[in-house]
Amino acid sequence: MKIGIDKIGFAMPNFFLDIRDLALSREQNENKFTKGLLQSEMCVAPITQDIVTLGASAADKILSEKDKKDIDLIIVGTESGIDQSKSAGIFIHHLLEIQPFARCVEIKEACYGATAALNFAKNHILENPESKVLVIASDIAKYGIGTAGESTQGAGSVALLIKKDPKIAVLNDDSVCQTRDIMDFWRPNYADFPFVDGHFSSKQYLDFLTTTFCEYKKRHNKNLLDFNAFCFHLPFPKLGLKGLNSLFSKTENLTKEKKLEFLDNFYSSIIYGKRIGNIYTGSLYLSLLSLLENCQNLKSNDVIGMYSYGSGAVCEIFSITLVDGFKNQLTNDRIKDFDKRKRLNTSEYEKMFFEQIKLDKDGNSINLPQDDSLFYLEKIENHKRIYKKIK
Ligand code: HMG
């Protein structure tokens, strides 16, 4: 049975910060961020946007009424949970009016969560061939004002509809994972922002990539030349480029033309991430969307390598094969949505960054700002989050 990605949706908050404005405010040379990290903008979320509103918006863009009847499993991959107990998937299930006899869960392993969700989705469909699974990768990345990681923040959500006979790409049976107990990036329950050992984390990302790819080649008797493009988890786009270069350095008989093709495809895959920032679980899938919507030379049966990395750390390398007509499932003018966002100056961004929901003694929110997004947090009532959809 062929199981894979049938539709991909994406949603982001309506605000962004230009990375050059951040550089100016932090007295850094802007080239450090624009060339050293290859970042140009980052999305900023107001308090009325969270993993639920972003996830619901991403999925709402792709689901038909029939999909809502067929989905019987929703898995949200996230590390920006809004509740220690209740799954964000349940709120999303309600907001999207998905049929009631469904299972909803949330999954966590840093940026790797959504890839684990894809695996579970695939196994679920193997057992229930007529079902559809909604996988949502939703996160808001916040490191803190003035920290080294600040220029790599972002916010957004990718929704993937998984089913048999998919219209975009088949998930191949070739996953290779690796796990090591390391402390490169983590967020204890008592901390609002993660602790991160930035340079160590980047080294680990690259070491996981090369050692896992070595194992992948051994197990499947394949090498880089068996792929047409490679998508990476992008904490910042430059690290993906370093990853691609490290794969080049281990590939024999790589012609100049093939190398240029990989590089060309790589630059297509970072167009969206450069303007959104790190969206943790969704970052790899945003690279895929960016590649598919911006690369002119991909065709059906092309194979795309996928590198998923979640700090802590777990990684996975797997591949997908494009199917006939995949372009029909995509749009070619998404960049217009990016241009509609409001550009914040640094002080507006800092104000938004520190904004907290104020509660009265009974757990009711006081004066949440207005939000004209499709889904938004309307209020908190007696400690319960109440979401709304603009009609
Ligand atoms: P830093 O230490 O301040 O920056 O922050 P730097 O000094 O390493 O400079 C960055 C790059 O800019 C370097 O390039 C500089 O040379 C260059 P490189 O040498 O590495 O190629 N540079 C310049 N280039 C041109 N003109 C200039 C200039 N100045 C400097 N004038 C750091 C970098 C990555 C540490 C920081 O951004 C950070 O802590 N980020 C957060 C952690 C992170 O993203 N880690 C990545 C791997 S871990 C991961 O992917 C998992 C994650 O997504 C979380 C999860 O799984 O949940 C993070």
Where are the chain's structural domains? 3-168+332-389, 171-327
pLDDT the model gives residue 7: 98
Ligand 1 atom closest to the CA of 151, numbered from 1: 37
Asked if 334 and 341 touch (Cβ cutoff 8 Å), the reply is: no
Q: Is 278 annotated as a binding residue?
A: yes
Instruction: Write out pLDDT tens, residues 217-250.
Output: 999 999 999 999 999 999 999 999 999 999 999 9
Query: Rg of the chain over CA atoms, in angstroms?
Result: 20
CA–CA separation, 54 vs 13, rounded Å?
7
Those residues with Cβ within 8 angstroms of residue 145's Cβ, 6 or more apart along the chain or in another chain: 350, 353, 354
Q: Which CATH superfamily is domain 171-327 in?
A: Thiolase/Chalcone synthase (3.40.47.10)
DSSP 239-254: HHHHHHHHHHTT-TT-
Residue 370 structure tokens: 């207005």
Residue 317 structure tokens: 């390398």
In a 3-state reduction of DSSP, which class is residue 377? Answer: strand
Residue 30 structure tokens: 């802007």
Place of tokens 């797997």: 318
pLDDT the model gives residue 391: 78
Tell me how long the chain is.
391
Ligand 1 proximity of 201 Cβ (cutoff 6 Å):
yes
Q: Mean pLDDT of all residues in the chain?
A: 98
Fold identical between 3-168+332-389 and 171-327? yes
- Residue range 3-168+332-389 in CATH 3.40.47.10: yes
Ligand 1 atom closest to the CA of 110, numbered from 1: 57
Ligand 1 atom closest to the CA of 233, numbered from 1: 50
Angle at 88 between CA 125 and CA 133, to 5 degrees: 15
Residue range 286-314: average pLDDT?
98
Minimal-distance CA residue to ligand 1 atom 43? 198
pLDDT the model gives residue 307: 99
Residue range 140-154: average pLDDT?
98
Minimal-distance CA residue to ligand 1 atom 3? 148
* Cα–ligand 1 centroid distance for 85 (angstroms): 34
Q: Nearest-CA neighbor of 61 among 155, 131, 157? A: 157
Angle at 384 between CA 381 and CA 390, to 5 degrees: 80
Instruction: Write out pLDDT tens, residues 102-141.
Output: 999 999 999 999 999 999 999 999 999 999 999 999 999 9
